[in-house]
């Protein structure tokens, strides 16, 4: 069974500090991992996916198959990064997305 | 392109009633997925439709059903509503092709309150 764990419900950091949002997954096959973000009063939107290896809004995430992790990182947090972040996994063959419970990031000025 | 739209945005029903929610995907997208979002359970997958066929189904009772029309618009229906069905129901569309997982674009959701 697929499972995504985000161990932190809430993460507070100061502006300019590094950010790391943790995501661990459980899946026996080859997963596709995603990070979605939901800003206040906005719809859920894709932040990045591991296969594209992009850096969006300064965020990066590396898939570590050995540790089954896909942590989201940003070197310098900005106030506008405050939002709810969801890690999601899709297995092979058009399987549906499985989401973690989410981490609320609060960036303090 | 216009984004995913969902109607209605807010809905209040009483226990035992039934409800139908509608989702219009991004033009050209043939895959529509539905999710239930609650504070306790987070985002949970309900079902996915592709070209009018249900491709995947989540772990929800049979009271939850859906369908997709030839224009890719989708509806989901919940019969015999229970208090626990109060949630934000999200629809997402993607230009899913055979194999792989294309980016899903989410609608604003329909907030359902069951009294």
Write the pLDDT tens digit of every residue in B31-48. Answer: 999 999 998 889 999 999
| Averaged pLDDT, B47-76 | 93
pLDDT value at position B96? 63
In tens, the pLDDT along A5-38 reads: 999 999 999 999 999 999 999 998 888 899 999 9
- Mutating which of A27, A31, A96, A103 best tests the B interface, going by the most B Cβ atoms within 10 A? A96
Out of B56, B105, B106, name the one closest to residue A96 (CB). Answer: B56
Per-residue model confidence (pLDDT) at position A92: 72
The pairing of strands B10-13 and B110-114 is parallel
Spell out the residues 6+ positions from residue B97 whose beta carbon is closer than 8 angstroms to its own: none
Name the pLDDT band for A57 (thresholds 50, 70, 90).
Answer: confident
Question: pLDDT above 90 covers what percent of chain A?
Answer: 70
Check residues B96 and A48 and name the one with the higher pLDDT.
A48
Question: How far, in Å, are A20, A87, A89 from residue A62 at the CA level?
Answer: 12, 12, 14
| Predicted local distance difference test score (pLDDT) of residue A59 | 93
Residue A83, C-beta contacts closer than 8 angstroms, at least 6 positions apart: A37, A38, A39, A40, A104, A105
Q: Give the tens place of pLDDT for each residue, A59-104.
A: 999 889 899 999 999 999 999 999 999 999 988 766 788 999 999 9
Asked whether the beta carbons of residue B100 and residue A32 sit closer than 8 angstroms, the reply is yes
pLDDT digits (tens, 9 = 90+) for B66-111: 999 999 999 999 999 999 999 999 999 988 654 455 678 999 999 9
Task: Name residues 1-40 of chain A within 8 A of B (Cβ).
Answer: 32
pLDDT of residue B1: 66
Task: Decide if B56 and A95 are in contact by the 8 Å CB cutoff.
Answer: yes
Half-sphere exposure of A89 (CA within 13 A, CB side): 25
- For residue B111, the tally of other CB atoms under 10 A from its CB is 16
Dihedral of CA atoms A84, A89, A94, A96 in degrees, nearest 10, equals -50
């Amino acid at each position: 069974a697929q499972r995504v764990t985000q161990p932190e419900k809430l993460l507070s950091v100061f502006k300019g500090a590094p950010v790391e949002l943790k995501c661990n997954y459980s899946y026996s096959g080859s997963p596709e991992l995603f990070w979605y973000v939901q800003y206040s009063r906005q719809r859920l939107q894709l932040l990045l996916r591991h296969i594209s290896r992009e850096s969006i809004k300064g965020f990066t995430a590396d898939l570590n198959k050995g540790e089954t992790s896909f942590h989201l990182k940003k070197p310098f947090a900005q106030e506008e990064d405050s939002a709810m972040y969801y890690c999601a996994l899709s297995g092979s063959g058009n399987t549906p997305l499985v989401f973690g419970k989410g981490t609320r990031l609060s960036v303090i000025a | 392109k216009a984004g995913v739209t969902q109607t209605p945005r807010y809905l209040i029903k009483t226990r035992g009633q039934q409800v139908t929610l509608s989702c219009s995907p991004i033009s050209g997208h043939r895959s529509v997925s539905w999710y239930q979002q609650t504070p306790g359970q987070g985002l949970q997958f309900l079902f996915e439709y592709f070209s009018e066929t249900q491709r995947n189904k989540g772990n929800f009772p049979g009271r939850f059903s859906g369908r997709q029309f030839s224009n890719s618009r989708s509806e989901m229906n919940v019969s015999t509503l229970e208090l626990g069905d109060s949630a934000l129901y999200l629809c997402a569309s993607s230009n899913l092709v055979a194999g792989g997982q294309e980016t899903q674009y989410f609608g604003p959701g329909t907030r359902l309150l069951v009294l």
